Amino acid sequence: MSKMFFLLTVTLTLLCTEVLHGLPYSHFQSRKHHGKGKGPQITELFFTQTLDHFNFNSMGNGTFNQRYLVIDNFWKKGYGPIFFYTGNEGDIWEFALNSGFITELAAQQRALVIFAEHRFYGKSQPFGKDSFLIPQIGLLTVEQALADYAVMLTELRQQYGATQCPVIVFGGSYGGMLSVYMRLKYPNIVAGALAASAPIKSTAGMGDPAQFFRDVTNDFEKVAPECTAAVRNAFHQLKELADNRVYSHIQSEFLLCKVPTSEVDIRQLYLLLRNAFTLMAMLDYPYSTYFMGKMPANPVKVACETMLRGSDILANLRNTAGIVYNTTGTLTCLDIYGLFMECADPTGCGLGYDSLAWDYQACTEISLCYESNNVTDMFPPLSFTEKSREQYCLRRWGVVPRPNWLKTQFFGDQLSSSSNIIFSNGNLDPWANGGVRQSISPSLVALNISGGAHHLDLRGSNDADPVSVIIARRAEADLIAQWVYNERIRLRKKP
């Protein structure tokens, strides 16, 4: 989900730059990324955003520059809908370049597309290099992010002459959660939401702590039962070496940059290895991708083939992790602390500044108490309870988590009073069972995508797509078109 992830730097080739005039709240520098032919033309802009929407004294009238991307070459000006992506835990360009369904749908429905970057991520740093200091980091909340999007949408609709244009929000993973929350919190602005792979239940503390890594394991079990058996055996051999303190052998087997010297180092190695399987399960797309890192097509299948290649299962485990951590094959050793950061999200926070932001969010509102147990999953027992979360977060950020706050603030599973939300999930995605899997009403629709990994439906069309995702996208397009039509009628009748 998350930065929940091992993020690699995405190199973006920007072919030209241009300043967009006439938008007083938006300012340089704009950049355009041109697709081929009549593809999307992406302009990068910055919005002057309020620092604190809820306390007039804490920051006065302070503002910061919030980045957003615009695609307007499909839009029927003043009439077509606005498709607004609720940016999540990372650089907004990475999500824009991996959410091709939104631009495909914009071309069909002649929509204006806006991708908004989440505060404290990417270039949207409210306090620059001091953004991750205490107390500044305290302005990183779900509520502030939603208010950012509401303010931005309101202003941009005015600037573009689009106040009568229906708004549909889109998001994947945490961004999908934000899309749900936008529809719940600001129905006066948002007419509907597509929430792809949005674990709104489990992150509100309503799930089974064993579910996530059990579902990761199930993905590998579906490919080959002997695959999960091999992973279990490899971890068992690693544990035996660790219990006997044969640390030098562990270093040589896993090509570690340093010899482990303690149980802490072994735990870090376990976490690093487990995270590799997590990412391959999440990103088990039927074609190669560069999203949250470089992945081959069908990485779970590739991993199982690697785990079952030869009799040296520790070497196989190392090489399987290398699918994630050493994609180029150029690393001569693995730095277990440089490649993975333990944090308040046991599924991984990623690296760099974005990982700090996600760690803080996982320490405050977003509950991610998942753990492996080696009974229902294939990984070593690695606990992460509410108590351990509280101890870590108090030590790291000086905060005490509020495990029930998302459930209180954003309905939990009591969503029947809302409307116009699509909850899409793929059965290969370990986040799926933390979300909504059954339709609640005719306008609160669950779409389950067989053979779909983490928000596959938000990705652009590909020849390797399973039929299930093609059908899901058609259903999503039809529902969204109906919402737009209904909203136009409502706006015309508005006194």
Q: For residues 47 and 63, give the distance between their C-alpha atoms in angstroms, rounded to a whole number.
A: 10
SS3 40: coil
Q: For residues 71 and 237, give the distance between their C-alpha atoms in angstroms, rounded to a whole number.
A: 52
What does DSSP assign to residue 256? B
How many CB atoms within 10 Å of residue 77?
Answer: 12
Contact 364, 141 (CB under 8 A): yes
Contact 231, 315 (CB under 8 A): no
Say if residue 135 is preceded by a cis peptide, omega within 30 of 0: yes
> Does residue 429 have an active-site annotation?
yes
Residue in 3, 158, 14 with CA at minimum distance from that of residue 91 = 3
Annotated catalytic residue within 33, 53, 118, 454: 454
Q: For residues 489 and 481, give the distance between their C-alpha atoms in angstroms, rounded to a whole number.
A: 13
How many CB atoms within 10 Å of residue 99?
Answer: 25
What does DSSP assign to residue 382? B
> Does residue 72 have an active-site annotation?
no
Token duo for residue 77: 């000006």
Run of H or E including 198: none
Annotated catalytic residue within 429, 457, 465, 468: 429
Q: For residues 103 and 37, give the distance between their C-alpha atoms in angstroms, rounded to a whole number.
A: 14
Q: For residues 396 and 392, give the distance between their C-alpha atoms in angstroms, rounded to a whole number.
A: 6
> Does residue 34 have an active-site annotation?
no
Instruction: Report the C-alpha dihedral over residues 120, 66, 93, 14, rounded to 10 degrees.
Output: -130
Q: For residues 235 and 48, give the distance between their C-alpha atoms in angstroms, rounded to a whole number.
A: 51
Q: Which residues of 392-419 are buried (b: 16+ CB within 10 A; e: fewer)?
A: bbeeebebebbbebbbebbbeeebeebb
Taking phi over 0 as left and psi of -120 to 50 as alpha, with beta for the rest, 193 belongs to beta
Instruction: Report the C-alpha dihedral over residues 371, 377, 468, 286, rounded to 10 degrees.
Output: 100
SS3 389: helix
Q: For residues 220 and 50, give the distance between their C-alpha atoms in angstroms, rounded to a whole number.
A: 46
Q: For residues 429 and 472, give the distance between their C-alpha atoms in angstroms, rounded to a whole number.
A: 15
| Three-point CA angle 246, 347, 432, nearest 5° | 135
Annotated catalytic residue within 173, 202, 367, 372: 173
In angstroms and rounded to an integer, the radius of gyration of the C-alpha atoms of the chain is 22
Residues marked active site are found at: 173, 429, 454
